[in-house]
Copies of this chain bind each other. A is one copy, B any other.
C-alpha cells in the first residue's frame, strides 16, 4: 500500500459520488481534513471483517471486492465495487464494526474518508443531512428507473409503453395523435434499441394497423391493442 497526495482528479471523483454531490465546498473541505489516498496491490486487504470501522472509501481506480467469511471459513462475496462508487459508508450511518472484508481485486486507488471528519461535518447540520437525503432519494429513483428500462420486456413492449405515455396527452376515443419531438434515433436510444430496430418495429405496428405516420406526426389508431402489447412487459408488478 502506497500513500499519495490528493490530486484534483481525486477530488473530482469524490465530488461525483452521491454522498458528496450535495455538499458546499466548505462542507467538503471539512470532510476531507484527514483524507487518506492510497494504492493497493491485487489481493491486498483493505480492512477486515469485525475490526473497528474508522473510514469509508471511494474507489478512484480499480475494483474492490467485499466478502464475508463464516466461522467455518467459507467465503461469500457480498458485493463488487467499481470505480466511482463508495463502500462502507453505510457502516458510518448505522454504526458498528466493519461487517465484511474488503480486498483489492486488481490494482486499486482509494480515497478514505475519516468517520470523525464526516461526523463533524454532518452531526450538527440537519440542513446538510436533508440535502444529502434528497440527493440519495433522487439517486434511488434514477437507479430504479434504469432497472425498469433494462428489464422491461422486449423492444416492442418498450416502444408500446413509450407511445402510450405520449399518447395519453391528447386522445379521442380509442385513437390519439402524437407529435414526435425528437429525431427517431433519439427515441430509439430512449427506449434502448438501435435506430434500425425501432424502424422495423414501427413498420410492424403500421402493418398491423395499430399506428399511422405522416411527417412528424404519429397517429395511434388502436390504443387498446397497443396497451395489450405493452402490458405484457409489466407482468412482474
Contacts and interface: CB of A to CB of B under 8 A. Distances in A.
A47 interface: no
Quickly give the copy total for this chain. 2
Nearest to A227: B106
Listed residue (A84, A143, A179) with the most chain B CB atoms within 10 angstroms of its CB? A143
A158 to B, nearest CB: 11
- How would you classify the secondary structure of chain A's contact residues: helix, strand, loop or mixed? helix
A93 B166 CA distance: 30
Contacts of A169: 75
Interface in A112-155: 123, 126, 129-134, 136-141, 143-148, 150-151
A183 to B, nearest CB: 15
Nearest to A148: B80
Contacts of A11: none
Interface string A24-59: 000000000000000000010000000000000000
A145 B67 CA distance: 14
Contacts of A145: 79-80
A212 interface: no
* Size bracket of the A interface: 35 or more
Contact of A126 (B77, B123, B131, B166): B123
Contact of A179 (B74, B77, B139): B74
Contacts of A144: 85, 143
Interface of A: 18-19, 43, 63, 65, 67, 74-75, 77, 79-80, 82-85, 87, 89-90, 92-94, 103, 105, 123, 126, 129-134, 136-141, 143-148, 150-151, 165-166, 168-169, 179, 181, 234, 237
Question: 8 nearest interchain CB pairs?
Answer: A93-B134, A143-B143, A94-B134, A136-B136, A90-B137, A129-B129, A93-B133, A150-B150
8 contacts: A75-B166, A79-B141, A79-B145, A94-B134, A132-B133, A133-B133, A147-B147, A150-B151
